[in-house]
Amino acid sequence: MKAAVYFGSRKIYADMVSAYKSLLVNSDVDKIYLLIEDDEFPYEVHRDVEVINISKLIENWFVPNGSNWGSGWTYIGLIRGALAKVFPDLDKILSIDCDTIVQSDVSDLWDIPIDDYYVAGVMEPALSRYSNGLYINAGVTMWNLKKCREDGIDDQMIDDLNRNKRMFVSQDTLNTVCRDHIKKIPAAYNACAYTEQTKEAKIIHFAGGIPGNWRELDAVKYYRDMPIDEIRPEKKIRMKTLDIIVPHYKEPWSLCKYLFDTIAIQRGILFDNVRVIMVNDGKQTDSNLTAKDLSDIERNYPFQTDVYFKPHEGVSAARNYGLRQSDADYVMFCDADDGFLNGYSLHLVFAAMQEGFDYLIPSFVEETFDEGGNPIIVNHDQDLTFMHGKAYRRQFLLDNDLLFDETMTIHEDGYFNMLVYTVAQHKGKIKTIGTPIYLWRWNNDSVVRNDRKDFVLKTYYNVMQTRIGLCCELKRREYEEDFRTAVCMTVMNSYYDFQKPRYNVPENAKYVKNAEKEFRKFWMKFNRTFYDLTNAKIAEVAQVARGNAVKNGMLIEKQSLNEFLKHIEHEVKP
């Protein structure tokens, strides 16, 4: 969400009105907050504006007898230092003074990359020279609230404002506390007497004074007197769009039809905002879809479906192909033989889309059978292995080069999801849905489902391929701590894998031997990284890995971790 905030004491409430109206007219801001010192704002506000009485919150952070509050400054002058506290659910916000007028489109302000910065603003040359570093004017600043919270910068600024007397209050504090993590932006976004000179002023800031009374300027009066109902009268909430990408190989239409039918019954959404992209991983002559099937797909459903045929290259290549065809805001990757759990599954997804996310992780349910052959349903909470029901902001995937590795055709989803999750932790926004929305259907023809007990063991080459690939990619992206955690988790998962009873029955002996060889490749590549880990780190990861192993059939360890690793390194032949 694109958000902005103005704050001021009651004597400048009228200035707030002209300022915020100019921003509404000249940007695509979604929400503007007015922080005031009263329960009631004496002026009518636009529907995209929310008024908050900050006087009821301020003493949570600032003390009345502090170095700044009460010594010539009101608490309103301090609030910029606590924005990360005031808006705990926002990742980013534009802070803008009331003595400003936005005179041309500034929508791109929210697109300025500040992932590695606490705040961005326009330089003040004089104070930059005085302070021997970048010093910005606080009148127009874009805040990375998420990073401020993560690094404790909000607490540091509050402490500074309570302890240290500041000439320019929160402006001095932000330049002191955030030093070396401040991004300089063009002077056009804050044209005033103190900032760099610019020929193209997008935001006029009347700080420093101008001849006469700036409040009587035509531009100020124009926005102050502009009727509320004339601002964005045509504006409607643009519903985000979703492409559901379905890789298809030789599944018959009778098997795929369930997915299409469960999309068609969705409620609470507009089908104009949904498209299915079906990617046949093979030539049309090799497909089990008949001309009648393709005609039924086109005619019988309320949503658009585009069917593509491409050379057979595997499921990863098919998904990447579908992603390249997409132009939607968000994408999902669904298997052709699955479906949505109920008629409101996509309603939950669209609600999350409107709020905004980069990676959505919902729960899903699995059709399977118990040991006695009885059909059962298993719930999976926020699993990071399977694609089932997950959604992704398309541009986030593209901007961060998050694609499926086309050398992987089995367990490729685990590699992709763990990589997306890691990047989103650093650069994006992750949402979860606790309600199951997706059904992983039982398919009698699926090798994965029919050989579920031993599928991982029999495909350990592919397991290690994805884990080596993930660790190498995390290392390449310089996510060092995540890389070390991934190495540790792979070692501990594999150790507990080999302790499971199914790995110690005679009929699986040849598969175990091959699996040991595959793990040895991983171990010889990353053992130094593992040995550099602290015992505390290994114990932390081991607890998680063991819990998962017990859920999946492990009873008790038959050998210690050191015995297992010595066996792999010295007794297993390459």
- SS3 state of residue 100: strand
What is the largest distance, in Å, between two alpha-carbon atoms of the chain?
A: 94
Q: Which of 205, 230, 255 is the last residue of a domain?
A: 230
CA dist 489 and 384 (Å) reads 14
Tell me: do 407 and 556 sit in the same domain. Answer: no
Q: Please tell me the least confidently modeled range out of 69-83, 207-221, 253-267, 297-311.
A: 69-83
Which of 475 and 131 is assigned the larger pLDDT?
475
Q: Which residues contact 263 (CB under 8 A, 6 or more apart)?
A: 244, 274, 276, 301, 303, 340, 346
Tokens 């004339």, located at residue? 230
Q: How confident is the model at residue 424 (pLDDT cuts 50, 70, 90)?
A: very high
147 shares a domain with 127: yes
Q: What share of the chain is helix, strand, coil (3-state, %, to 5)?
A: 45, 20, 35
DSSP 134-183: --EEEEEEEEEHHHHHHTTHHHHHHHHHHHS--TTTHHHHHHHHTTTSEE
- Does 456 share its domain with 498? yes
Residue 238: its pLDDT value, please?
66
* Calpha distance 572→574 (Å, rounded): 7
Q: Token digits for 521?
A: 């490749």
Q: Are residues 214 and 250 in the same domain?
A: no
Give residue 59's pLDDT band: very low, low, confident or very high (50, 70, 90).
confident
Whether residues 525 and 393 share a domain: the answer is: no
Residue located via tokens 């919902």: 362
Give residue 63's identity as a one-letter amino acid code. V
Predicted pLDDT at 520: 95
Say which residues have a Cβ less than 8 Å from residue 186's Cβ, sequence separation at least 6: 122, 198
| Residues 189 and 250 occupy one common structural domain | no
Three-state SS annotation for 499-545: CCHHHHCHHHHHHHHHHHHHHHHHHHHHHHHHHCCCHHHHHHHHHHH
Verify that 216 and 249 share a domain, yes or no: no
**Per residue in 281-296, pLDDT tens?**
887 666 777 888 888 8
Phi, psi for 362 (deg, rounded to 5): -95, 170
Nearest to 43 by CA among 5, 79, 15: 15
The residue among 399, 419, 445 that closes a domain is 445
Supply 522's token pair: 């991983």
Contact 275, 246 (CB under 8 A): no
Pairing relation of β-strands 391-393 and 359-369?
Answer: antiparallel
Question: Which residue among 397, 418, 445 closes a domain?
Answer: 445
What number of other Cβ atoms are within 10 A of residue 156's Cβ?
17
How many CB atoms lie under 10 A from the CB of residue 101? 23
Mean pLDDT computed over 223-248: 84
For residue 307, what are the domain limits? Answer: 238-445
78 plus 63 within the same structural domain: yes
How does residue 277 score in pLDDT terms, banded at 50, 70 and 90? very high
pLDDT, tens digit, 9 for 90 and up, residues 496-529: 999 988 888 888 889 989 999 999 999 999 999 9
pLDDT confidence bin for 554, thresholds 50/70/90 = confident
Q: In this model, does residue 66 exceed pLDDT 80? A: no
Q: Does residue 292 sit in helix, strand or coil? A: helix
Q: Which of 243-247, 329-333, 538-542, 569-573 has the lowest mean pLDDT?
A: 569-573
Q: Answer yes or no: do 208 and 247 share one domain.
A: no
Average confidence (pLDDT) over 115-134? 92
Answer yes or no: are the C-beta atoms of 378 and 462 closer than 8 Å: no
- How many C-beta neighbours within 10 Å does residue 23 have? 23
- Cβ-proximal residues to 224 (8 Å cutoff; 6+ apart), any chain: 14, 17, 18, 21
SS3 of residue 298 by DSSP:
helix
pLDDT of 235 > 60? The answer is: no
Check residue 236 and give its pLDDT.
Answer: 53
320 in the same domain as 192 = no
Please state, in angstroms and rounded to a whole number, the distance separating the CA atoms of residues 424 and 431. Answer: 10
Number of domains the chain contains:
3
What is residue 365's three-state secondary structure? Answer: strand
Lowest mean pLDDT among 68-82, 88-102, 251-265: 68-82
Q: Which residues pair with 183 in a beta bridge?
A: 120
CATH number of the domain that residue 201 is part of = 3.90.550.10
* Residue 13: partners with Cβ closer than 8 Å, 6 or more residues away: 36, 41, 42, 43
Residues 559 and 471 grouped into a single domain: yes
Q: Are 194 and 249 in a shared domain?
A: no
Burial class (CB in 10 A: 0-12, 13-18, 19+), 557: middle
